[in-house]
Chains A and B, each alone.
Chain A
Amino acid sequence: MSRFQVVSGKGGTGKTTVAAALALALATEGRRTLLVEVEGRQGIAQLFESEALPYEERRIAVAPGGGEVHALAIDAERALLDYLQMFYKLGSAGRALKKLGAIDFATTIAPGVRDVLLTGKACEAVRRKDKQGRFVYDHVIMDAPPTGRITRFLNVNDEVAGLARIGPIHNQAQAVMRVLKSPETAVHLVTLLEEMPVQETADGVAELRAAELPVGRVVVNMVRPHLLDEDALRTASGGRRREIAKALTRSGVTGSAALVRPLVEQAAEHAQRVGLEREQRAVLAGLGLPTVELPLMGEGVSLSALYDLAAEFRKQGVGDDTVDAAGQGSAGGAPRSGPGPGRGSGRGVGA
């Protein structure tokens, strides 16, 4: 598994939920993940039923097997102040800059600069090591902007090139791009089995590939079970209504005659949906990407539903490094508290 996992998707597809579940899945068995959000929406806090996140990494959940999920809401202004502090030891002058609106100005006038600060902060967390030289986080998962903007957001180099040709921001952009274009990064796109999100996913994949950004998986979210197959339904709407009515009566349902038509109609709608979903699956299959399917959480996404979704991720091979590491060979940095050898999740980044 790549150490930097970016989760994007069309609005309404549940990308924040998916990012959170992925962070939980990757944290199982004693690992430590950082879940970051960049749009100032406090979606993570709502999901984990916690207070609004400050600009500060804090533990937000414990994963099965002793792992930890930490969370951070990245704020571009604060990130810029951090950099100023780091490079120029500004002290109170930084606050003066903020008061004058200079920070707001710098992060607003050039959206590219803003994006560099946001991705830069996340990349810093990806590369950060503790005193023993181990990675502080095994994985960093970003709840990223939606599919329509993701390529632009990640392709900070292009964005910033015209604006800051030299200087730390420029260097920062270069460093960020090195991480983003490496196998250390995987960009996942969340979709539903509906036409518009699938179309947007296909477009997004094409854009990411054109920008040479590493596309990870397609996550099909809110998949509903197929309770009845189309063929059976055709039978139902054929000449068997009377038999169905009798069966209903046998099953203990009263007034069955009046129920047959609505029940069969609901089934026809279901069949139509199944057919449309199959078409959308075919489109997604054409993308040639590994796919994860997550079930619709009938009761809405509660904290326990998040854990269920994380388990589903693991069931489908996400977060199981024995599978992934085998395919990718090298396992550089030791995991922070991995259960044993051979489970190394951290691979070195040329930092």
Chain B
Amino acid sequence: MTLNTDIAPGLDTDALLDDPGIRIVVCCGSGGVGKTTTAAALGVRAAERGRKVVVLTIDPARRLAQSMGIDQLDNIPRRVDDIGGDGELHAMMLDMKRTFDETVEAHTDAERARAILENPFYQSLSAGFAGTQEYMAMEKLGQLRARDEWDLIIVDTPPSRSALDFLDAPKRLGSFLDGKFIRLLIAPAKIGGRAGMKFLNVGMSMMTGTLGKLLGGQFLRDVQTFVTAMDSMFGGFRTRADATYKLLQAPGTAFLVVATPERDALREAAYFVERLAAEKMPLAGLVLNRVHGSEAARLSAERALAAAENLEDVGIVDQTTGKAGLCDASDPTAVTSPEASESPLSPEHGDEPTPHGSTPEPHDRKSPAPEQHDAEPHDRKSPDPSGPPTHAEQDTRAVPATDVSVDQLTAGLLRLHAERMQVVAREQHTRDRFTSLHPEVPVTEVAALPGDVHDLSGLRAIGERLATGSAPA
């Protein structure tokens, strides 16, 4: 029902999740597009379709853990309860430092491991280096795959500024640890011993001298200790990073690029699609998240606005009257908070209906509602202390139902629809731009939900949308 899908082929998510040959699904994309939620929803769906799944998330969003019924996700896969069917779902969150520590401990003797773990450079590198998270995500993925306990591993990629970081960072750390300069630091004597390299050694001592002055002598001693201690592990790091890289290129892996139908997110997605192709990594398709649609799409934004104006021209009062409209707490459209559904919390309620108020022009939709100019935080809370007003109180303020002009109401519905149609058109436009660049990429659309996901049923709903490519909005 959302955007038409006749340009790009559809992405069959269920076929992907059911394919026993697929062992790893990587969800990637730029920040804020819903990667983590997508990964979790795919995990729930795959498990309920009978697979034994582990979801490796990077984003420490507590709500997501809670939505899977787990208080706190950590570095160990935890089983998620209440999964229907024969499958299993496990979830874990990458603890970057811990994974790094464990890797160090696993690949060197106890004494050297301690020397590394206590070194300030290690501490800084393991907690903060821009690529460490990506690198450790790869490391963890390699470990999980090697255990072979799960049919399917679904990985969420780190919340990088750019989707490409995920692919670049492990190499960057690898080449960094393999860098010329580090080699010099480790073995200056060895290199200097060769006649042809002698000048390097001169340069070297000048350099260490400079850096020593700049950063303090201790700095360089710490670096040298660190680098020497890590040296024994470089081979291991590199080898495993290469192995994981190959694993990502293997046919058992599928990449899903996640994006929202917005310019920046889709531009990132396009870069990423190109990059995956260049790296010969298997792209399964694009998940277009939070897409808006309308079941009343045959009514265009322009016609809806014109119709709204027709109604308002003959109407007696302006739109604010509608805002003072009556409260019907039993209504199914009720908002989640019971308090919100009963009490006129919104400052808008304070607005007196203005009989001769100006009819909102189309451009007014851009300007914020009156309350938004209110920077004083306490004002917003003011209705709270008094608690929900009684019905008697409401009666004194609210206009009886029959007094809410149906024309006003309908005009409001039409304006709302016009706004929706403008969003739909904009999203279609940005999506078209992507499809014209990459017509070969299968796409599935996930209709926007009005709120955030809080529980397994929310994740199931998203899984359903992922599978069908569209769902009733």
Contact = CB atoms under 8 A, between A and B. Distances in A.
Interface in B251-294: 260, 262-263, 265, 294
Interface residues of A, number: 111
A322 interface: no
A229 B215 contact: no
B181 A104 contact: yes
Contact of B121 (A41, A110, A237): A110
B63 A259 contact: no
Nearest to B180: A101
A233 B124 CA distance: 54
Given A104-B181, A266-B417, A278-B345, A163 B296 contact: no
Main secondary structure of the interface of A (DSSP, over half): helix
Contact of B410 (A104, A168, A244, A261): A244
Interface stretch (B28-36, B38-46, B78-86, B141-149): B28-36
Interface string B317-334: 000001111111001111
Interface in B192-241: 203, 206-207, 210-219, 222-223, 226
Nearest to A255: B298
B129 A111 contact: yes
A252 B310 contact: yes
Interface in B124-146: 124-125, 128-130
Contact of A105 (B181, B210, B311, B365): B181
A251 B295 contact: no
Interface string A224-236: 1111111111111
A25 to B, nearest CB: 15
B348 interface: yes
Interface in B331-348: 331-337, 340-341, 344-346, 348
Contacts of B414: 248, 251, 253, 263
Contact of A278 (B161, B215, B346): B346
Contact of B335 (A168, A228, A232, A276): A276
A69 B384 CA distance: 43
B390 interface: no
A78 interface: no
B9 interface: no
Nearest to A99: B180
Contacts of A97: 207, 210
Contacts of B121: 109-110, 163
Interface in A112-159: 112-113, 146, 148, 152, 159
Interface residues of B, number: 116
Interface stretch (B97-105, B419-427, B434-442, B463-471): B419-427
Contacts of A109: 121, 124-125, 176, 223, 226
B214 A231 contact: no
Contacts of B265: 12
A168 B214 contact: yes
A235 B404 contact: yes
Given A223-B372, A263-B414, A237 B161 contact: no
Contacts of A170: 215-216
Interface in A208-241: 220, 223-238, 240
A331 interface: no
Interface stretch (A27-35, A192-200, A332-340): A192-200
Contact of B380 (A159, A164, A225, A285): A285
Interface stretch (B10-18, B87-95, B107-115, B301-309): B301-309
A328 interface: no
B218 A236 contact: no
Given A169-B215, A229-B348, A300-B263, A272 B451 contact: yes
A227 B415 contact: yes
A195 B335 contact: no
B215 A295 contact: no
A342 interface: no
B307 A248 contact: yes
Given A90-B210, A235-B401, A276 B451 contact: yes
Contacts of A233: 333
Nearest to A217: B375
A310 to B, nearest CB: 14
A143 B399 CA distance: 48
Interface string A252-285: 1101000101111111111111111011011011
Interface in A305-320: 308, 315-317
A263 B203 CA distance: 74
A236 to B, nearest CB: 6
Given A12-B32, A167-B216, A285-B381, A252 B326 contact: no
Nearest to B211: A106
Interface string A4-23: 00000011110000000000
- Listed residue (B120, B125, B181, B311) with the most chain A CB atoms within 10 angstroms of its CB: B181
B32 A13 contact: yes
Nearest to B331: A234
Contacts of B124: 109-112, 159, 162-163
A18 to B, nearest CB: 14
Contacts of A290: 375
Nearest to B394: A231
B182 interface: yes
B473 interface: yes
Contact of A232 (B226, B263, B295, B323): B323
B211 A102 contact: yes
A267 B416 contact: yes
A176 B431 CA distance: 44
A244 B406 contact: yes
B243 interface: no
15 contacts: A10-B32, A109-B121, A111-B125, A111-B130, A165-B218, A166-B217, A169-B214, A229-B322, A229-B346, A229-B348, A232-B325, A232-B404, A234-B327, A235-B325, A270-B450
Given A223-B368, A229-B348, A298-B365, 10 more contacts: A101-B180, A109-B125, A146-B159, A163-B124, A223-B372, A225-B365, A237-B331, A240-B406, A250-B311, A275-B336
Q: Which 3 A-B pairs have the closest CB atoms?
A: A12-B32, A11-B31, A275-B335
